[in-house]
Amino acid sequence: MPVTPLSPNALYRRCDPDQLGFATTAELEAGDALIPQERARHTIEFGIGIRHSGYNLFALGPSGTGKLALIRRTLEERATAEPVPSDWCYVFNFANAHRPRALRLPPGRGNTLRRDMEQLVTDLHRAIPGVFESDEYRTRSQALEEELEERQEQAMGALREMAKEKDVVLLQTPTGFTLAPIRNGKPLGPEEFHALPKKEQTRIEADIDALQAEMRKVMHQMPVWKKRSDEQIEELNREMAGGAVRSLIETLGERYQDLPAVVAYLDEVQADVVEHFRQFLPTQDKQPPFLAGWTPPNGDGPPWHHRYRINVLLGHDQNGGAPVVYADLPAHHQLVGRIEHRAHLGALETDFTMIRAGALHEANGGYLILDALKLLLQPFAWETLKRLLQAGEIRIESLAQITSLISTLSLEPEPIPLDVKVVMLGERHIYYLLCQLDPEFRELFKVAVDFDDELVRDPASALGYARFVAAEVHRAALRPFEAAAVAHVVEHGARLVDDNERLTSHMRSIGDLLREADYWAGASDHALVTAADVEQAIRARIERADRIARRLREETTRGTILIDTDGERIGQVNGLAVMALGDFAFGHPSRITARVRLGKGEVIDIEREVKLGGPLHTKGVLILQGFIAGRYALEHPLSLSASLVFEQTYGGVDGDSASSAELYALLSALAELPICQSLAVTGSVNQRGEIQAIGGVNEKIEGFYDTCAARGPVTGQGVLIPAANVKHLMLRADVREAAAAGRFAIYPVTTVDEGIELLTGMPAGTRGADGRWSPGSVNARVEARLVGFSERLRALRGGDTQAPPTAEPPR
Amino acid sequence: MNDAPARIRRIAVALDASPHSLRGLALAAHIAAALGAEIEGVFIEDTELLRSAGLPFLREVRVTTLGESTLDAARLERELRAGARRMRTQLERSAAELGIAWSFRVWRGDLAAEILAAAVDAELFALARIGRFAPLRRPRPPRAAGTLIGVLVEHHPAASRALATAIALGRRGTANLIVVLQAADVDELESLRAQTLAELGDLGADTRLIACDADAAAALPAIVARTGIDLLLLDAASGLLARPSLWTSLEALDCPVLIGR
């Protein structure tokens, strides 16, 4: 039976606005703006419900399908009912300043502890100077000082008395003491001394020697007494400081009796404050000198006013539920946190108060959502995430530390236990690459959430679209959409996936269409968004992107690109190609020609020979070679040499959707039958001559229609498409109108024979019981030509070996 | 008791690089700033000590290192010069901080007998135990509440000069005052008290008046120790300074004195 053009109804599947059940989207409840992804939803629920190690999730699917929205909503619904995670604080490590300690507190108590410690420090600044200004301290410290001085004076006084008995005086020099003989209360000079009798001089010298020995003994005792006195004063200082500190810290400790870690920390604070009580005295010059005037160096610790601070790394609201965090910039330091530095006297300093939380801290006890591509693009971020998930703890390290770029002493904060469910979002190819290339990936991300690109088109999914439109209208404050406008959106959703039985789940594209339609409604002063506004948005979007398509059509019309849309040609057919430029794809006819001659049974694909043909295209050509050999040259050697080419293509050609067109061109050349140039062809072919479905059928048909329309009124042109592609048809209104008017036809073909009959107007023919093709048919002509080639070749080889076979002149 | 106080143009302070003289310098500098006077540092070199240095068998034991060496006169002079330079620097710094004029000189003489002659041109002379009379005991720390100045008021005409100076300091808020009234009997004491209160005027309410019997040398040290007086203001005509040894009085007082002329 001859193939008949498709009816207009088959070219487009309408969505009936009346079946939607509303007049405008204002009647619909604004839902969650999610296009249903039931399979993905079930997988997410499984993934977040299973609480074992490694059951993190990877949501794979094209960008814009609503992965983040669905996952975030699902996680937030669950997280609300989950317990609030602990607060985490970093505090000073009194034993090792470089390794700040982590304190875990019940939610909400981190900030309470911080405020309490700030108040404690304020109180200490008041209490400690108070005790050192007290009468008790002054009295006791002065008593100790008096004791030392009395002891020293007694010793020196006794020495002075001993000296006096022997007419010797104890003199103070600029740096010490000496003993000098006196007469009449005045020290003797050298002349006076030498005027004394020798015996007297000897006696004085002996006396002074003896007294100097005694003085030496006394003065050697003095540092010992001083040291003992200093120790007693220091003991008194500690006692006084301890008295001031104890009551304050004990009072504070009572509030944290339920938290042994905090109580232990407060004990350390108490010991440290007593050790360093001088830091709480107002200023150095106001300190009583009996405090020895010596301040211990700060060492590697933080500034003193930071030492007792609480760095609340994470403080939670007691009623907040588990956290759901989306890390929009998953750099290494954004994930694990960082240690900030301050510039001081030309150097960079840091301490535990400058430790900052990362996304993993914020999500600890809850959920962390990451974009896989962003994560992988950040240096060391992926490796760090894996390492922390495997270790089950967050260790804050800088990139410089990891890579050993610097080896200066820095902080090593105590690691914090990590309990987080990570959800990564990414394109499918990223998931498959990670599976293939990273053995640890499968261990850590055991749950793959595969988002569908398409939905089955049925009333339920159409209603889902309508709810999505209503939610977007509400969220983006758009004009309500009429039911007809929603129906057109549904139809466009089908067109986007090139399938009238499916709808796209690419929410971003639909959302963009809604906003643009709203814009055009506004431009037309419409209170509601109409179907015409939606159509205007679609058309405007195409117009914004179709510069290249227009140029191609113009050049075709001007004859620069040779395309015939009427008449007949032997060995020449209009193929159809799709070009994708960004988000915009369009079809355009391309002339395919075939030349045949006597040869060695090869079909030369010129695209492949010049390396412009892709593997799929080459495959298609080899298939049609197999088809010809299998159908026509069963008992004869295939003595054909044919060449096929896409004329005027200067870039690569791939895909097998033109293989049927190439076969028609080849058959035309072999049968020497002209092909009708008002028709264009798309479809791949198998070795049995069956026409197979191809992609981009709508763009291809519209591309040929536009080329014909650009040359004048469309009258009798058409396209041969695989019958399997009929369900994909969602053609433009002008194409449908031309088809309805009989000016343009779409022929669904299932076999090569159907196609060649349409193209040549000749019957394809069938092979009879005698093995011969119907006389005069296309197939009979092809086979006869091939047999002719074979016999000619045999004749050439058997008759005269001296002369090489000569090829038939190309036609 | 009604002599008008002479304007204080110069305050001299005896120095020897010991902590006590530094404390005296600090007190004197603040008083000079309060009175708008110049401060004059007088570095004292005791000739008696230098005389002893010629004896070859004398040895000096150093306080800090406990090292011993012979008492070499040349070295002793170098060390005294070094001490003088240090005190000059300290004086310069204190004067710059307080914005007062200053001068510095070295006086060499018999510390025991002639110390009061070291500063004859100054209206006030601050003197602490220095040189070979310096105590082992460290000076008392300054009190946070401000300097406490005691002034000895005796029953003779010149006594009011010291009181007038003390009142001037009290009015400038530089010091809190304690007036020690030295009287031979009750009548004399009451007379002194009335005159003193009259001169104190509105300062009288904030000033302690303490009675002292005629033998001030015996009673004053106890008063100074009990009240914590930082500096005792005496008139040059005070009987306390007329005793055979000024240093014996200073040793007993255990605080610097400011002698007014």
A700 is catalytic: yes
- The ranges of chain A with pLDDT < 70 are 1, 31-33, 283-302, 406-407, 409, 799-811
Tell me: do A699 and A785 sit in the same domain: yes
Tell me: do A183 and A258 sit in the same domain: yes
Contact assessment for residue B181 and residue B196, using Cβ atoms and an 8 Å cutoff = yes
Q: What is the CATH number of the domain that holds A403?
A: 3.40.50.300
Enumerate the domain spans of chain B. 10-133, 147-256
Burial of A477 (0-12, 13-18, 19+ CB in 10 A): exposed
In chain B, the N- to C-terminal Cα span, in Å, equals 15
Alpha-carbon distance of B6 to B17, in angstroms, equals 31
* Higher pLDDT among residues B85 and B147, named by residue: B85
Structural domain that includes position A440 = 79-85+316-450
A540 lies in some domain: no
**Domain end among A416, A450, A484:** A450
Chain A residues whose CB is inside 8 A of the B61 CB are 176-178, 212, 215-216, 219
Q: State the pLDDT at residue A300.
A: 53
**Domain end among A498, A532, A566:** A532
Q: What is the DSSP string of A635-687?
A: SS---EEEEEEETT--S-B--STTHHHHHHHHHHHHHT-EEETTEEE--EE-T
The answer to whether B57 contacts A219, with C-beta atoms less than 8 Å apart, is: no
A56 lies in some domain: no
Tell me: do A126 and A263 sit in the same domain: yes
Tell me: do A494 and A572 sit in the same domain: no
A811 lies in some domain: no
- Name the packing angle between helices A752-760 and A659-671 (round to 10°): 60
Chain B residues whose CB is inside 8 A of the A208 CB are 57-58
Interface contact A186, partner B, CB < 8 A: yes
Q: Which amino acid is at B250?
A: L
**Domain end among A385, A415, A450:** A450
Q: State the pLDDT at residue A301.
A: 57
ipTM, 2 dp: 0.81
The strands making up A101-105's β-sheet, listed across from edge to edge, are: A101-105, A87-91, A311-314
Nearest-CA distance from B56 to chain A in Å? 8
Nearest-CA distance from B66 to chain A in Å? 7
Alpha-carbon distance of A100 to A306, in angstroms, equals 13
Per DSSP (E only), the strands in A324-407 are 324-327, 338-339, 342-344, 347-349, 355-356, 367-371, 393-394
pLDDT-derived band of residue B137, with 50, 70 and 90 as boundaries? low
Chain B residues whose CB is inside 8 A of the A178 CB are 52, 58-61, 71
Chain B residues whose CB is inside 8 A of the A185 CB are 112
Q: For the ranges A9-23, B75-89, B240-254, which has the lowest average pLDDT?
A: B240-254
Q: State the pLDDT at residue B89.
A: 94
Q: Can you say whether residue A338 is alpha, beta or left, with left for phi > 0 and alpha for psi between -120 and 50 degrees?
A: beta
| pLDDT, tens digit (0-9, with 9 covering 90-100), for B219-230 | 888 888 888 888
Alpha-carbon distance of B169 to B199, in angstroms, equals 13
Contact assessment for residue B161 and residue B191, using Cβ atoms and an 8 Å cutoff = no
Tell me: do A661 and A695 sit in the same domain: yes
Mutation site, A154, A159, A172, interface B, largest B CB count within 10 A: A172
Tell me: do A425 and A321 sit in the same domain: yes
The answer to whether A174 contacts B83, with C-beta atoms less than 8 Å apart, is: yes
Q: Which amino acid is at B186?
A: V
Q: What is the CATH number of the domain that holds A606?
A: 3.30.230.10
Tell me: do A247 and A336 sit in the same domain: no
pLDDT > 90: percent of chain B: 18
- Name the packing angle between helices A483-496 and A531-545 (round to 10°): 30
Q: State the pLDDT at residue A114.
A: 95
Alpha-carbon distance of A337 to A194, in angstroms, equals 85
Q: State the pLDDT at residue A809.
A: 46
Nearest to B66 among A181, A189, A220 (CB): A220
Q: State the pLDDT at residue A636.
A: 82
Contact assessment for residue A456 and residue A13, using Cβ atoms and an 8 Å cutoff = no
Regarding pTM above 0.95, the answer is: no
Residues of B within an 8 Å Cβ radius of A: 16-17, 48-49, 51-52, 54-55, 57-64, 66, 68, 71, 76, 79-80, 82-83, 112, 131-138, 141, 144
Neighbours of A180 (CB within 10 A): 26
- Pair of tokens at residue A797: 């080889």
Nearest-CA distance from B136 to chain A in Å? 7
Close Cβ partners of A465 (under 8 Å, ≥ 6 residues apart): A35, A486, A489, A490, A493, A503, A510
Tell me: do A331 and A346 sit in the same domain: yes
- Pair of tokens at residue A227: 């040291």
Tell me: do A494 and A349 sit in the same domain: no
> B10-133 with B147-256: one CATH topology?
yes
Tell me: do A427 and A500 sit in the same domain: no
A509 is catalytic: no
Question: The domain at B10-133 falls in which architecture?
Answer: 3-Layer(aba) Sandwich (3.40)
Tell me: do A557 and A704 sit in the same domain: yes
Tell me: do A350 and A474 sit in the same domain: no
Interface contact A293, partner B, CB < 8 A: no
Write out the CATH class of domain B147-256: alpha beta
Neighbours of A768 (CB within 10 A): 10
Nearest to A176 among B55, B63, B112 (CB): B63
Total domains, chain A: 4
Strands B175-182 and B208-212: parallel
A184 lies in some domain: yes
